[in-house]
A and B are shown apart, each in its own frame.
Chain A
């Protein structure tokens, strides 16, 4: 076997830096999250004043749509940077933002808010499923192991909630979904870390 200590070989053996790609992914996640928060805030404001003719509800509605377009294009850029795992916390954030209860008392606006939330989640799930089908075997395994770890982490939380139910706020279906998404992401982070830096078996 040849010695592997020449400068050229050292360059080849050096780990390829993916830090730039990861940073870009985080930046696009931040932009998407911010645009989602701004979009939902504008939407809530427009919805609350929908009956007030003096209030520029239409303008705010247009700005809301523009914010969601920015969020959507940021998600696309995020996926292009291979930062697809950030879709999980982003979906959790959007589920929290588009909770129908946040839309105020106007029934129509609540329904639109609910449809928006379901549509955004469905789009995220579809995109995520497509990405999962295209990933390589290790990435897929990390996602599956991460989901298993997330479910495992959900058990003590469920038990804790059952124990302290009388002191805690009433559980809502949306919160369960949000928690599961965040736990999946936490599981993904832990599993990814294990495959990258964990001890060699």
Chain B
């Protein structure tokens, strides 16, 4: 599973710590999600979607999608 969280975060000028605070998780969690080492739970994925104003499927996508959904 890949995601565009790093790009979305950078567009909003948020640091990892700032995003982590907004989501109520640790910075390590944000880092692990961004680097693809950890796939978040559905509630966290939806919380991320709500926060950045994007549907979940535009933030997280399967490797087979070839990155075509990157905003």
Q: Which residues of A contact B (CB under 8 A)?
A: 1-2, 4, 8-9, 12-16, 18, 82, 135-139, 141, 192, 194-196, 198, 200-201
Contact = CB atoms under 8 A, between A and B. Distances in A.
B37 A201 contact: yes
B27 to A, nearest CB: 6
B26 A138 contact: yes
Which of B16, B28, B36, B71 lies at the interface centre, i.e. has the most chain A CB atoms within 10 A of its CB? B28
Contact of A138 (B9, B32, B70, B71): B32
Interface string B12-32: 011111000000111111011
Contact of B35 (A8, A82, A138, A200): A200
The 3 closest A-B pairs by CB, nearest first: A136-B25, A138-B29, A16-B17
Interface in B28-71: 28-29, 31-32, 35-38, 40-41, 44, 70-71
Given A1-B71, A4-B10, A195-B38, A12 B28 contact: no
A138 B38 contact: yes
Contact of B13 (A1, A8, A82, A136): A8
B25 A13 contact: no
Contacts of B26: 82, 135-136, 138-139
Given A196-B32, A200-B36, A201-B37, A4 B7 contact: yes
Contacts of A195: 28, 32, 37-38
Given A12-B15, A16-B17, A137 B44 contact: yes
27 contacts: A1-B7, A2-B11, A4-B7, A9-B10, A12-B10, A12-B14, A12-B15, A13-B10, A14-B15, A16-B17, A135-B26, A136-B24, A136-B29, A137-B25, A137-B41, A138-B26, A138-B28, A138-B32, A138-B38, A139-B26, A139-B28, A192-B28, A195-B32, A196-B31, A200-B35, A201-B36, A201-B37
A16 B15 CA distance: 7
Given A16-B15, A196-B28, A137 B7 contact: no
Contacts of A15: 16, 31
A139 B71 contact: no
A138 B7 CA distance: 21
